[in-house]
Structure 1
């Protein structure tokens, strides 16, 4: 069994709290420096690099502000978190690096 020095579910909740607050600096701190985001919100896009991630979140916070937690579950990849936005329920799979930072995020509208 792998020793995990962080709680993936708690990191996911911290991420949603920062998202709901519009706290871009905390959102960026929760992501690894080499994080990759696959977003299926309005067409599929892949975001890599710190500045691209910042630009993505500035736009995403404006277009898709998050409100309420819908569901939270562990997964083989990390954590699956679902939350409400003005356009409906969104779902994000978060995978983490060894330090507990988001390494990969795959988000899209829930079906």
Structure 2
């Protein structure tokens, strides 16, 4: 592995906290899939759908500080604070270190 999965997750949270939608989108693989369990459960694919998702997320649920960060069997798990509570995101990466799959939602 030529990248640090935990560093990528921190970079993602930093871009999210900064509201940098272009930096966030650049972190995703072209065929990325996001499974979002925030509110209505939905699956997001494609760059324009990801952009629309992030426009809403940045406006309605800005990220705050890091809560926890751990490696997982195929990526990284990060939890962070938003205005609605603690959220958890499970990342899986492609060989280049781009986000291939993201599963996110409220921590339980």
Range class of TM-score, shorter chain? over 0.9
Q: Which segments of structure 1 move beyond 6 Å, counting only runs of 4 or more?
A: none
Q: Does the 8 Å CA contact 1:38/1:107 hold for their aligned counterparts?
A: yes
Indicate which of 11, 16, 19 corresponds to 1:19: 16
Q: Which residue of 2 aligns with 1:39?
A: 36
The CA RMSD measured in Å over matched residues stands at 0.4
Query: Structure 1-normalised TM-score?
Result: 0.96
Query: Structure 2-normalised TM-score?
Result: 0.99
Q: Which residue of 2 aligns with 1:63?
A: 60
Deviation at 1:77, TM superposition (A): 2.2
Kindly tell me the number of residue pairs found equivalent between the two proteins.
108
- Show structure 2 runs of 5+ residues with no match: none
Indicate which of 76, 84, 103 corresponds to 1:106: 103
- Show structure 1 runs of 5+ residues with no match: none
